[in-house]
Structure 1
């Protein structure tokens, strides 16, 4: 699963499309989007809307949550909501940026935290 998490959304979508034996044009037609747009999504140049995310999940028989795990964009709206509800999130995020905390350090922290939680 470690290499799975390193895949981009586009790589995962291409993988699922190929598992369903669909060409780029065929999938684009099913989704009612252009093949050029879908190609850009697979190459990471464009991002699907929430509606298209759902249609991709339905068409490729994948769980929406699973596809979202491959989306590398920051969940800006969720971060805004969290910081508005609890300013400590904003302080923590600012501290991470100021201290140049690397993503791998955050992921390692979360991995250890999840392991401790499972043991309890």
Structure 2
């Protein structure tokens, strides 16, 4: 699976943009974009939005490749609906693999599990 930085580089190259060109368009330094592409730094939501705009994609597309845990979003969702907190705990206590969870999110049955 690609990382966020790899996805940004892929889109930048698809748009035939150099690091400097993307940096100028997004009003960032080339070094910062290089660090993002290499996984040394992560963009803020504001920067992610600018990069998405300049790479002709959506922030949501880029977020799909962010491997950092979405802790703020998990807390918000669990506080809005306590059933999510119960579900998160059950997932953590189970032996479900990340691949099985991704399959479940795509609407596929969990392999190797009885329902």
TM-score by length of 1: 0.79
Q: Counterpart of 2:92?
A: 97
**Corresponding residue pairs, total:** 109
Alignment partners' CA distance in 2, 1:71 and 1:46: 11
Q: Secondary structure at the match of 2:106?
A: helix
Q: Tell me by how many angstroms 1:113 deviates.
A: 4.9
Distance 1:100 1:36, change over 3 A: farther
1:20-31 to structure 2, matched below 5 A, reads 20-31=15-26
Alignment partners' CA distance in 2, 1:45 and 1:101: 30
1:54-65 to structure 2, matched below 5 A, reads 54-65=49-60
Runs (4+) of structure 1 exceeding 4 A deviation are: none
- Taking only aligned residues, the RMSD between alpha carbons, in angstroms, comes to 1.8
Alignment partners' CA distance in 2, 1:86 and 1:112: 22
Q: Counterpart of 2:65?
A: 70
Query: CA-to-partner distance for each residue in 1:76-109, whole Å, 9 max, x for gaps?
Result: 2221111111222112212222224221111122
The gaps in structure 2 that reach 5 residues or longer are 110-115
Higher helix share: 1
TM-score by length of 2: 0.82
The gaps in structure 1 that reach 5 residues or longer are 1-5, 115-120
Q: Tell me by how many angstroms 1:27 deviates.
A: 1.2
